Structure 1
Amino acid sequence: MTNESRTEHDNEKAESVNTAVKKEDNRPVVLKVEHVAKYFRLPTEQATGLKMAFLNWTRGIKGYTEQRVLRDINFEVRQGDFFGIVGRNGSGKSTLLKIISGIYTPEKGKVSVKGKLVPFIELGVGFNPELTGRENVYLNGALLGFSHDEIDAMYDDIVDFAELGEFMDQKLKNYSSGMQVRLAFSVAIKAQGDILVLDEVLAVGDEAFQRKCDNFFSEIRKDPTKTVILVTHSMDSVKKYCNNAILIKDGEIIVSGNKNDVADRYTLENLKRENKKPADDDKKKDEEPKYPTGLNETVPLLTVRPSKEPVCDMEHGFDFEVEYDYRGDKDFYVAFSLNDIRRGGVPFGDSFDLFRPGHQTVRFHVPMDIFTNGEFRIIASIHEYENGRKDPEHVHMVAFTNENLACDFSMRDPKGADNFALLNKMKFGYEIVDTDMASHQGPAVAA
Structure 2
Amino acid sequence: MPNLPPSRSCPALFITATASGQGKTTLVAALARYHRRLGRHVRVFKTGPDFLDPMILQCASGAEVKPLDLWMVGETDCQRALYDAAGEAELILIEGAMGLFDGNPSGADLVERFAIPVAALLDARGMGQTFGALALGLAQYRPTLEFAGVIANRVASARHAEMLQAGMPTTVRYLGGLPRLAESALLPSRHLGLVQAEEIADLEQRLDAAADGIAATALAQLPKPIEFLPPPVALPLPQLLAGLRIAVARDAAFSFLYADNLCTLKALGAELQFFSPLADHDICADAVYLPGGYPELHLPALAANTGMIRAMRAHVAANRPLYAECGGMLYLLEYLTDQAGNGAALTGILAGRGQLQTRLAGLGMQALDTAHGCLRGHSFHHSTLETPVTPCGFSRRQRDGQPGEPFYRLGAVRASYLHLYFPSAPIAAAALFQA
TM-score of Structure 1 vs Structure 2, range by shorter chain: under 0.3
Give the TM-score normalised by the residue count of structure 1.
0.24
Larger radius of gyration: 1
Give the TM-score normalised by the residue count of structure 2.
0.25
